[in-house]
Chain A
Amino acid sequence: MAASIVDAVTESLAPYPGARVLEVRLRVGVLSALDEESLQFCWQLSTEDSPLQGSRLTVKSLPIVMHCAVCAADRELPGVQSLSCPVCGAPATDLRQGRELDIDSIEIEEAEVPQ
């Protein structure tokens, strides 16, 4: 997973030759299989000798949002242990958020352009 992030970010640096990455920001649903602790643990090693070396990794966690057909509304769930509407108890069969595994943005420092 860390390698996929490093590859994707490195690819996105094509328009910014020589740039160094300061921060990588992820958006991760609570139902995705990404464990932030293990990712942070291997981040330094995974980014070594890449433009991401020394960068910070921040992970924004997104709760599950279901669409409840009974309430005709989107409902945020308090956890991942019971996938049902917190208001009326209808089963959560239509999930609108919670499975994301995305790179949201990166902060980069561009290389000095010789004048």
Chain B
Amino acid sequence: MTTRIVELRRGILKKNDELAAGLRATYAAAGVLVLNLVSSPGTGKTAFLERTLRELKARGQRVAALVGDLETDNDARRLAASGAPVRQINTHGICHLDAEMIGRHIDGWEGVTLPNLDFLFIENVGNLVCPSSYDLGEAIRVALLSVTEGEDKPLKYPTLFNSADAAVITKIDIAEPCGFDRDLALKNINAIRPGIQIFETSSKSGAGMETWLAWLEQERAARKA
């Protein structure tokens, strides 16, 4: 019996990374800005996305969304109320979306072709751990945190917040009764991801949405130029 050491020196998720690189090139060629929304379950991703889709649409932007959950199409039906095309991805037990699932659901999406979109939003499975490892080819990864979750979430889940390009604090309309310490939350987000763009929003009252939407439009314009 001979034993030998074989050097592999490859990424564990190399296959996903390669698929994601292909998607990224496809998005860029189509001129669509793709965002990946990640947070724990219950942060309010769906309500935030529904409002974002509805308001961007009213501003003349062409938007669509893919939404990931283990089971049910409840979120897709909620998001469809915005009037935007929405497709549900059921992962059947898998705790994150991966690039293969995204590619498969973009292909054959009835009535939707990427060159006819300005923005594509991907609502990830509610989970603060695994989604941070899986590149979906997105241009912008957005981490969401609600005022009900505790200001130390970014410190508890540094991987996710460190891999994000923007952070959104949701449910600020109930910040006061929750005893939410805004300064501490901002400090913690900045400790994990220095200089990150932070938005403070309420999907219910609409507070902070204008700043967020204007930023999205600006990012898209900047990337097209």
A and B interact: yes
Q: Which of B129, B132, B194 contacts A84 (CB 8 A)?
A: B194
Of A7, A31, A110, the residue contacting B1 (CB under 8 A) is: A110
| Chain A CB within 10 A, most for which of B10, B11, B12, B192 | B12
A contact patch SS: mixed
B183 at the interface (CB under 8 A from A): no
Q: Assess whether B3 is interfacial by the CB under 8 Å rule.
A: yes
Which residue of chain A is the closest to B127 with respect to CB atoms? Answer: A33
Judge whether B159 and A102 touch: CB under 8 Å.
no
Q: Closest approach, in angstroms, between the C-beta of B6 and any C-beta of chain A?
A: 5
- If the complex has contacts A33-B132, A33-B133, are A91 and B195 also in contact, measured as CB distance less than 8 A? yes
| Distance of B2 from chain A, by nearest CB (Å) | 5
Instruction: Name the residue on A nearest B2 (C-beta).
Output: A110
Give bound CA distance, A106 to B12, whole Å: 13
Q: In the complex, what residues of B have CB within 8 A of residue A7's CB?
A: 15
B8 within 8 A of A: yes
* B4 part of interface (Cβ distance < 8 Å): yes
A residues within 8 A CB of B2? 109-110
**Nearest chain B CB to A46 CB, angstrom units:** 13
* Known A8-B10, A81-B158, A82-B191; contact A32-B133, beta-carbon cutoff 8 A: yes
A-B pair number, CB within 8 angstroms? 101
B interface: dominant SS: mixed
A83–B133 touching, CB < 8 Å = no
Task: Please provide the chain B residues from 1 to 28 with a CB less than 8 Å away from any CB of chain A in the complex.
Answer: 1-16
Given contacts A83-B194, A110-B1, A8 and B14 within 8 Å (CB-CB): yes
> Which residue of B is nearest A26, CB measured?
B12
Contacting pair A109 B3 (CB below 8 A): yes
B194–A101 contact, CB under 8 A? Answer: no
- Contact between chains at B12 and A101 (CB < 8 Å): yes
Given A109-B1, A110-B3, A112-B1, A103-B130 contact (CB < 8 Å):
no
State the 4 A-B residue pairs at the shortest beta-carbon distance, nearest first: A91-B194, A80-B158, A33-B133, A103-B8
Residue numbers of A with Cβ under 8 A of B are 1, 4-5, 7-9, 12, 16, 22, 26, 31-35, 80-84, 91-93, 99, 101-110, 112
The contact sample of 10 A-B pairs, CB cut-off 8 A, is: A34-B12, A80-B162, A82-B191, A84-B194, A102-B9, A105-B5, A105-B7, A105-B9, A107-B3, A107-B6
Residues of B within 8 A of A (CB): 1-16, 129-130, 132-133, 155, 158-160, 162-163, 190-195
